[in-house]
Amino acid sequence: MHIFALRPSSLILLVFLGAGLLAPHYVYPGFLMNLLCFALFASAYNLLVGYVGLLAFGHAVFFGGASYATGYMLRDLGLTPEVSILIGVIFAAALGLVMGVTSIRRRGIYFSMITLALAQMFYFLCAQSSVTGGENGLTAIPRSPLFGIFDISNELTLYYLILAVVAAAMFVIYRTVHSPFGHVLKGIRDNENRMISLGYDVDRFKVIAFTLSAALAGLAGSLKAIALQLVTLVDVHWSTSGEVILMALIGGIGTAVGPIIGAGVILTLQNYLTGFAEWVITIQGAIFFLTVLLFRRGIAGEVERLFRMRQARSASSQKDFTTSVVESGRST
Amino acid sequence: MKLKRFSIACGICVIASLALFSTSRAQEPFKIGHLTDLSGVNVDISGPATTEAMRFAVDDFGGKVLGRPIEIIAGDHLNKPDVGVGLARKWYDGGVSAIFDVGVTSVALGIQALAKDKNKAVIYISTGSADITGKNCSPNGIHWTYNSYADAVGAVTEALAHGGDTWYFLTVDYAYGDNLQRDATKIIEKAGGKVIGSTRHPIDATDFSSDLLKAQSSGAKVIGLATITNIGTNIVKQSEEFGIRPNQTIALMSVDIQDIKALGLKTAQGLIDTSSYYWNSSDESRAFAERFKRKTGKMPNQMQASAYGAVLHYLKAVEAVGSDDALKVIAKMKDIPINDFMTKNGTIRPDGRVMRDMLVLQAKKPEESTGDWDLFSVLRTIPAKDAFAPADPSVCPLAK
Amino acid sequence: MLNIPIQTILGQLLLGLINGAFYALLSLGLAIIFGLLRVVNFAHGAQFALGAFAALILSRYAEVPYWGALVLAPVIVGIFGVLFERLFLRRLYDTEPTYQLLLTFSLGLMTEGTLRALFGSSGVPYANPLIGGINLGFMFLPFYRGWVVVVSLAICVGTWLVIEKSKLGSYLRAATERPDLLRTFGINVPVMVTLTYGWGVGLAGLAGVMAAPIYQVSPSMGSHLLIVVFAVVVIGGMGSLGGAILAGFALGVLEGITKLVYPPASSTVIFAVMVAVLLVKPAGVFGREVV
C-alpha cells in the first residue's frame, strides 16, 4: 500500500527536478537560487509542522543563524564554501537542539510561543553582536571556489550546484518522511497518547525531528548566504519565521511538493507585483485571504485531495492524508 | 543519468546565453532602474513619486541616449535585502546600466558590493548611511542627495548657535544611532558645548516617556534625537505632553518635509530640518514643484526632487563617455560640475560623495503658514564643505 | 543601578503602569477572542491602528472630537470585526487553528496596506485633547496619561466583572471551557461568538483611539505591539482574562524597570520572561493547561 502512496509525490518531485534543470532558460537564475533556498527552508519547516504537527514560530533562527555563520566563515575567516556550509548547518542543528529541548514539552499554542520567544531573544543577540554587522548586515560575502578549486562565481554554475544540494536535501526529507522513523512521527502527529502507550519515547523523537528540521533550514540559510552574498537581520526576524509558515500553508502542509509551490508563490508575489506600487501589500493580503478561504489545504493539498478522491472511488478505503492533518490540529 | 542530464542542460544554457549576447543591442532600450520601497513603511521618503521625477529627467534629456530610447524600470524591494539585492542582480544581468535611489542601508550596502562585482553604476538618493562613502565606498557608487551627517548638521549647529551648549541624547540602539551621536558630539565639542548624558532605546520601542523624563531631569539645554525618523517624530509628539519645550530645545537629527506634515505644525513648529531642497526656496524649485505636483498630487521632498538631477547628470555623463561602462561614466560624473534647478555647481568627491549646499529650514508656527505645504521658512544655507564630514582616506582608499 | 534615586524609580514604575494600561487593553481583547473562539487574532495590531485612523477620519471629515471618537471609533472597528467574523472567519471554525490565524493575518496585512496606500507611511497629526499635567513630586504626570490608566482600568475591570459575575458571562465562561457542550444546551453560540469577536476587536480599536493623541498615528503603529501583546496573553495564561489584564500591567512595569537597568533590552525582556514562565508554569501564570 505504501508503494502506492509514495509514487505520485516522488514522481512529482522528479518532475520538479527536471523543471529545475531546465528553468534557467526561462527564468533568471538568481531568482531561482533564492527560490530553491526558500523551497528547502519551507520543506524543512514542513517536516516539522506537516509530519510531526509542531507549529514552531522561530525557524528564522536556524535559517538566519546558519546564514550568519556561513557568511562569517567565508568572508571573515576565508574558509571554503563547503566547510562554511557545514559549519552553518552544525550551528543551526545545535541551535535547533537547544530550542527543541527547551520547547518540546509544551503543547499547542504554548509550544509556538516559546519558540517565538527564544527566536526573539536570538534576534536581540544578533542585533547587538558585532559579528553580524548589526543593522548593516554582512555584505560582500565572497563566492570562494568550492573545495578551493571549482569556480562558483558564475550564476549558472552556482545555480546547478545549489539545485544539486537542495535536491539531495529534499531526498533526505523524503526518505525521512517515508522511513520507519517518519511513521513514528506521523503516529505522534495523529495520536500522541497512543504512541506513548505503545512505549515510544515521544519527546526524544520530537527533539530529533526538530533538530533535523533546524539543520535543513540551516542548510537553506547557508546556501542563501552564498547565493545572495548578503545576510541581514531580516533573515532572523520573526517576519521571516512567519513567511515560512505562510509558504507551507499556501503550498499545502504535509505534502511533499507543497512547500516548494508555496515558496514559489510568495517569492513571485514579492518580486513581480511591483506594478501595483502602493497597493502591493494589500494585494498580497487579499491573495492570502482568498487562498485560505478557497484553497484551504494549500495548492498542492487541494490537487492531492482531488487526486485522492478519484483514487478513493476506484480503490477501497484509504485514509485521507490531508484530513489527518486537520484532525491532528483539532486534537492538540 | 542525472549527471548526463545535468551536463546536457549546462550545455544548452551556455549556448542559449551565447546566442543572447551575440544579438545586436544597438536598438535595445537603454535601461535604468529605480529601486526603492514602493509600498512599505518608507514609501513616503521616496516611493513611486520618485519614479515620476526620474521620468521628467528622461523627458527633458530628450528620451534617448547613445541613440537608444531610455527606459526606466521601477522595482519594490519591500525593505527586504533578499528581494532588493535579488532584483538588482537580475536587473544588472538583464542589461540595466544604473540603479537609482535604494533607501534602507542593508539593501544599499548589498547593492554597493554587487555593483562593483558586476561593474555597474548605483546612485543613492534616499539612502542615509555615510558608510556608502566611508568603509563601504566603491568606484561604482555615488551618494547623491544627503547623508545622515548632513541630515543632522543643521539641527545641531542651529541649537548651538542659540546657546544650546549642554546636550542629552536619545539614541537608537543601532550603529546608525551611534554614528549620528558621535558625529554630533564632535560638532558640539568643537563649538565648546558638552554632552552630559544619553540613553538608548531599541528600534521597536513605541513609548519614550521614560527617556524623555531622563532627558528632562538631566537639565540639558538641548535634547538630541539621534534616531530614525519614525521614532524621532514619535518622541517629538510625546515631548509635548511632558512640557519639554520651550524649556529645552529638541534637535531632531533626521527629518524631512513629510514628517513635519505628519506631525502637524502645531507640534512641529520650531523644529529644524536640514535639506538639499525645499519647494518654496527659489523660482526654479517652485517651478519644478508645480510640475511635480500636477503629476503626483503632492509637493516633492528632497529625495524626489533630487532624483531628477541624478538621472540628468548620469545621462549627460553617458552621452559624454559614449558608453555605459560604469567606471568610465562614474569618473565622468565626477569630472563635470552638477547644475540643475536645485544644485548649483555641485561636485562629486573621489569617494563618491556629492558635495552640495544644504538649506537649514525651520518649521513655521501654525499661524504663519498660508497653505497645506507652507511648512518651512529658510533660515540659511550651509556650504557643502560644512554640510558633509571630510572624506576619510583611512576607511575609504578612494578618498586620497 | 544602585545609585538610581528613588524618584526615578517611582517615575519609571508609574510610566510602566501607563504603558501597561495599553498592553492590558490590547491583551484583554486578544484573550477574549482566544478564550471563546480559540482564534489567535493576528489582525489585532492592524485593528489597533484602524481605531486610531477611525478617530482621525471622524475628526477630519465629520469634526467629531476626541471624546466622541472614544465611543464611535471602537464601535466602527467592532462592526468591521463583526462583519469579518460573520462573512469569513465563521467558515473556518471547523478547520485547523492555523488557517484562522492565517486569515486574520491576511486581514491585518490588507488593513495595514490599505491604510498606507490611502494615508501614506509617515502618519498623520492628531491633537491631544487633555493638555497639561500635574507635578507629583517625583515626576510630572500629564493629564492624558492619567486618563489612559483610568479608562483602561475601568474597561478592564468592567469587562472582567461582566464575564465573571453576570449570566452572560457565565455562558461565555462555559463556552470558553466547553463550547461543544454549550451548543447542546441550545444557547445561541454563533451570535455570542460574533459579539465576542466584535467586543475584542472593539477593545483594540479603543486602545487605538487612546493611543492617537500620544503616539504618532501611522499604519504600522500596531505591528510592533502585536507580538508583544501575544506574549502578554501567554504569560497571563491563554483564556484567563484576569491573567491577561494583570500580565499587561505587570509587563509594562517590568519594561519600565528594564529601562533603568539596560534600556536596549526593554523590548526583548518580555520574551525572556515568557520563556521562564512557560518553563515553570506550562500554561501561563493564571492559565490551566487545556491541551
Residues B255 and B273: beta-carbon distance below 8 Å? yes
Q: Which of C238, C265, C271 sits opposite A117 (nearest CB)?
A: C271
Q: For residue B29, what pLDDT is reported?
A: 94
In this structure, the answer to whether residues B184 and B64 fall within a common structural domain is no
In this structure, the answer to whether residues B350 and B362 fall within a common structural domain is no
Q: Verify whether the Cβ–Cβ distance C96 to A329 is below 8 Å.
A: yes
> For residue B155, is it within any domain?
yes
Q: Which of C98, C110, C291 sits opposite A286 (nearest CB)?
A: C110
d(CA C41, CA C59): 28
Q: For residue C3, what pLDDT is reported?
A: 66
> For residue A2, is it within any domain?
no
> For residue B115, is it within any domain?
yes
Q: Verify whether the Cβ–Cβ distance C113 to B39 is below 8 Å.
A: yes
d(CA B92, CA B82): 15
Q: Looking at the complex, does the CB of residue C291 fall below 8 Å from at least one CB of chain A?
A: yes
- Name the nearest CA neighbour of B346 among B103, B153, B152, B146: B146
Q: For residue C238, what pLDDT is reported?
A: 80
Alpha carbon of residue B182 to chain centroid: 20
Q: For chain B, what is the domain count?
A: 2
Q: Which of B43, B48, B105 sits opposite A136 (nearest CB)?
A: B105
Q: Looking at the complex, does the CB of residue B238 fall below 8 Å from at least one CB of chain C?
A: yes
Cα distance from B374 to chain A (closest Cα, Å)? 26
- Measured between CA atoms, the residue of chain A closest to residue B132 is A136
User: Which of C39, C275, C285 is the best substitution to test chain A (most A C-beta atoms within 10 A)?
Assistant: C275
Q: Verify whether the Cβ–Cβ distance B241 to C214 is below 8 Å.
A: yes
d(CA C259, CA B47): 35
Give ∠ CA C272-B208-C214 in degrees, rounded to 5.
120
> For residue A1, is it within any domain?
no
> For residue B400, is it within any domain?
no
Q: For residue A8, what pLDDT is reported?
A: 65
In this structure, the answer to whether residues B292 and B172 fall within a common structural domain is no
Per-residue pLDDT of chain C (291 residues; tens, 9 = 90+): 456 778 788 888 889 999 999 999 999 999 889 877 888 899 999 999 999 999 999 999 999 999 999 999 999 999 999 999 999 998 888 887 778 888 999 999 999 999 999 998 888 889 889 888 888 888 888 999 999 999 999 999 998 888 878 887 887 777 666 767 777 777 777 888 888 899 999 999 999 999 999 998 999 898 888 889 989 999 998 878 889 999 999 999 999 899 888 989 988 999 999 999 998 888 888 876 554
3-state helix/strand/coil string of A159-191: HHHHHHHHHHHHHHHHHHHCCHHHHHHHHHHHC
In this structure, the answer to whether residues B211 and B130 fall within a common structural domain is no
Q: For residue B176, give its domain range.
A: 149-275+358-387
B4 has a pLDDT exceeding 80: no
Q: Looking at the complex, does the CB of residue A249 fall below 8 Å from at least one CB of chain C?
A: yes
The DSSP bridge pattern shows strands B354-355 and B347-348 to be: antiparallel
Q: Looking at the complex, does the CB of residue C272 fall below 8 Å from at least one CB of chain A?
A: yes
Give ∠ CA B181-B183-B189 in degrees, rounded to 5.
95
First to last CA, chain A: 28
Q: Which of C8, C121, C225 sits opposite B43 (nearest CB)?
A: C121
Q: Which three cell numbers stand for residue B200?
A: 538608548
- H helices of B119-269, in order, are 148-161, 175-190, 209-218, 229-241, 257-263, 265-268
Predicted TM-score (pTM) of the model is 0.88
Q: For residue B221, what pLDDT is reported?
A: 96
In this structure, the answer to whether residues B213 and B164 fall within a common structural domain is yes
Cα distance from B63 to chain A (closest Cα, Å)? 21
pLDDT range class, residue A304, cuts 50, 70, 90:
confident
> For residue B5, is it within any domain?
no
Q: Which residues of C touch A242 (CB under 8 A)?
A: 105
Q: Order across the sheet with B376-382: list the strands.
A: B272-275, B358-363, B376-382
A322 has a pLDDT exceeding 70: no
Q: Is the CA virtual torsion B153, B158, B159, B163 positive or negative? A: positive
Q: Looking at the complex, does the CB of residue B50 fall below 8 Å from at least one CB of chain C?
A: no
Cα distance from A326 to chain B (closest Cα, Å)? 33
> For residue B393, is it within any domain?
no
User: Which of B209, B229, B304 is the best substitution to test chain C (most C C-beta atoms within 10 A)?
Assistant: B209
Q: For residue A318, what pLDDT is reported?
A: 43
Model confidence pLDDT, tens digit, residues C182-210 = 777 777 778 888 888 999 999 999 999 99
- Measured between CA atoms, the residue of chain C closest to residue A104 is C279
Report the DSSP beta bridge partners of residue B250: B223
Q: Which of residues 87-146 of C touch A (CB under 8 A)?
A: 88, 91-92, 95-99, 102-103, 105-114, 116-117
Q: For residue C184, what pLDDT is reported?
A: 77
Q: Which of residues 203-222 of C touch B (CB under 8 A)?
A: 214-216, 218, 220-221
Q: Which residues of B touch A31 (CB under 8 A)?
A: 86, 90
Element (H, E) at B249: strand B249-252
Q: Verify whether the Cβ–Cβ distance C102 to A246 is below 8 Å.
A: yes
- Measured between CA atoms, the residue of chain A closest to residue C282 is A106
| Three-class SS state of B135 | coil
Q: Verify whether the Cβ–Cβ distance C95 to A296 is below 8 Å.
A: yes
Residues B101 and B125: beta-carbon distance below 8 Å? yes
- Measured between CA atoms, the residue of chain C closest to residue B268 is C125
Q: Verify whether the Cβ–Cβ distance A234 to B80 is below 8 Å.
A: yes
In this structure, the answer to whether residues B130 and B37 fall within a common structural domain is yes
Query: Complex ipTM, two decimals?
Result: 0.87
> For residue B63, is it within any domain?
yes
In this structure, the answer to whether residues B62 and B104 fall within a common structural domain is yes
User: Which of C122, C147, C210 is the best substitution to test chain B (most B C-beta atoms within 10 A)?
Assistant: C122
In this structure, the answer to whether residues B364 and B351 fall within a common structural domain is no
Residues A119 and A58: beta-carbon distance below 8 Å? yes
User: Which of B206, B214, B235 is the best substitution to test chain C (most C C-beta atoms within 10 A)?
Assistant: B206
A248: domain CATH number is 1.10.3470
Q: Looking at the complex, does the CB of residue C166 fall below 8 Å from at least one CB of chain A?
A: no
In this structure, the answer to whether residues B246 and B295 fall within a common structural domain is no
Q: Which of residues 122-181 of C touch B (CB under 8 A)?
A: 122-125, 127-128, 131, 133, 139-140, 142, 144-145
Q: For residue A49, give its domain range.
A: 7-331
Q: For residue A7, what pLDDT is reported?
A: 56
Q: For chain A, what is the domain count?
A: 1
- H helices of C214-268, in order, are 223-236, 241-261
B126: domain CATH number is 3.40.50.2300
Q: Verify whether the Cβ–Cβ distance A281 to C116 is below 8 Å.
A: yes
Q: Verify whether the Cβ–Cβ distance C256 to B211 is below 8 Å.
A: no
d(CA B149, CA B138): 19
> For residue B395, is it within any domain?
no
In this structure, the answer to whether residues B170 and B68 fall within a common structural domain is no
Q: Which three cell numbers stand for residue A141?
A: 560575502
Q: Looking at the complex, does the CB of residue B266 fall below 8 Å from at least one CB of chain C?
A: yes
Neighbours of B283 (CB within 10 A): 8
Q: Order across the sheet with B166-172: list the strands.
A: B194-201, B166-172, B222-226, B249-252
In this structure, the answer to whether residues B95 and B174 fall within a common structural domain is no
Give ∠ CA A46-A50-A54 in degrees, rounded to 5.
95
Q: Which residues of A touch C268 (CB under 8 A)?
A: 120-121, 123-124
Model confidence pLDDT, tens digit, residues C11-60 = 888 899 999 999 999 999 998 898 778 888 999 999 999 999 999 999 99
Cα C93 to Cα A328, C82, C90: the distances in Å are 15, 15, 6
- Measured between CA atoms, the residue of chain A closest to residue C110 is A282
d(CA A83, CA A71): 11
* Amino acid at site A306: L
Model confidence pLDDT, tens digit, residues A161-170 = 999 999 999 9
pLDDT range class, residue A296, cuts 50, 70, 90:
confident
Q: What is the mean pLDDT of chain B?
A: 91
Cα distance from B282 to chain A (closest Cα, Å)? 31
Cα distance from C113 to chain B (closest Cα, Å)? 8
Q: Looking at the complex, does the CB of residue C283 fall below 8 Å from at least one CB of chain A?
A: yes
In this structure, the answer to whether residues B214 and B258 fall within a common structural domain is yes
